[in-house]
Structure 1
Amino acid sequence: MKIFVVMLYIGILLMFICTESLFLFITEQELHFQFTRHPNLADFFLNDLRSLYDITYVIQKLGHFICFFFLAMLLYWALQRWLLVVLISVGFAFLTEVAQLFFSRSGRLLDVGYDVAGLILFILLYMCYRFVEWLYSKVFTSEVRRH
């Protein structure tokens, strides 16, 4: 069942990724796919940081970050193996960005970085949670022993 939930989430992400216009999908619920046989693969290495002051750009990049945070969370929930979570998340980040080049979207290496940042935040928050849990158990155990 857990794997089904992860696969459903991945399927939804792919739908968002491959639709020609995410804006039209969100505002008018219109899905449109346009396959390009020979995209310019050099576009993958373009840097579009000059758009950093555009609110739409910032929202899109936050979307990358949040989507991959939840992907990592779901993968860890289903697999319980950090190496698999990292490999699948990073692999999926590369795959989706390259796939966008074939679907009239702008796939960028920089976006892989935003995706990986979401993964890293999940790992850091989970490690903090486990540390606090461990610390609490040590404090609670030592108080029980004193009484």
Structure 2
Amino acid sequence: MRILALILLGSLMFVMLFTASLSDLLKYNVLDFQFVLQPEFEFFKAYWLREDLIVRKIGHFCIFALLFLHIFYLSNHVQRAVMLSLLVALLSEVLQPYFSRDGRMMDVLINSAGVLMMAGITQLWLVLKDEESNMIREEINQTFD
């Protein structure tokens, strides 16, 4: 079931990251993939965050946080999940120009921030869970001593 959830998330990410126009997909339900053999790379070009872009970037942040969670639940290893999620964050932006989209370093940073934020929350949860387990064990040991 976890693998199926990851496949579904990956499919959703593929559609949203590589469709020719995310606006057309969201407004008109037009799904169009266009492969470009000689893309124009503007990886380091900055852009201003307009209101509509802010919503999209929040979406990037959240979807990559979810990607981390899915990979973590499959691997049960935070570092492995972080590395794989960051690799996907980078590759998704490097490949976008081949699908008539703009891949940008700024987007890699936003994607990575989602991954790292969720990794931090997950690591904190694991530490707290471990401390709680230790406290319960100590209480049980004291009860039977």
| Range of TM-score over shorter length | 0.7 to 0.9
1:60 to 50, 56, 62: 56
The 1:81/1:128 distance shift into structure 2, 3 A limit, reads closer
The answer (yes or no) to whether the contact 1:44–1:101 under 8 Å persists in 2 is no
- The residue number in structure 1 matching 2:78 is 82
Equivalent residue letter for 1:47: A
The answer (yes or no) to whether the contact 1:46–1:108 under 8 Å persists in 2 is yes
RMSD across aligned positions (CA): 1.8
Instruction: Give the 5 Å matches for 1:28-107.
Output: 28-41=28-41, 43-48=42-47, 51-52=48-49, 54-107=50-103
- The residue number in structure 2 matching 1:9 is 9
After TM superposition, the score normalised by the length of structure 1 is 0.86
How far off its partner does 1:64 sit? 0.9
The answer (yes or no) to whether the contact 1:90–1:116 under 8 Å persists in 2 is yes
After TM superposition, the score normalised by the length of structure 2 is 0.87
Gaps of 5+ in 1: none
CA distance in 2, matches of 1:140, 1:2: 29
How far off its partner does 1:107 sit? 0.6
CA distance in 1, matches of 2:133, 2:90: 40
- The residue number in structure 2 matching 1:120 is 116
Gaps of 5+ in 2: none
How far off its partner does 1:8 sit? 2.3
CA distance in 2, matches of 1:38, 1:85: 32
How far off its partner does 1:60 sit? 1.2
Q: Number of residues paired by the alignment?
A: 143
Residues 40-80 of structure 1, C-alpha deviation per residue, up to 9 Å, x if partnerless? 22x011122xx23x211111111110000000000011121
How far off its partner does 1:3 sit? 2.3
Identity %: 27
How far off its partner does 1:112 sit? 0.8
Q: Secondary structure at the match of 2:46?
A: coil
- The residue number in structure 2 matching 1:18 is 18
Q: Secondary structure at the match of 1:35?
A: coil
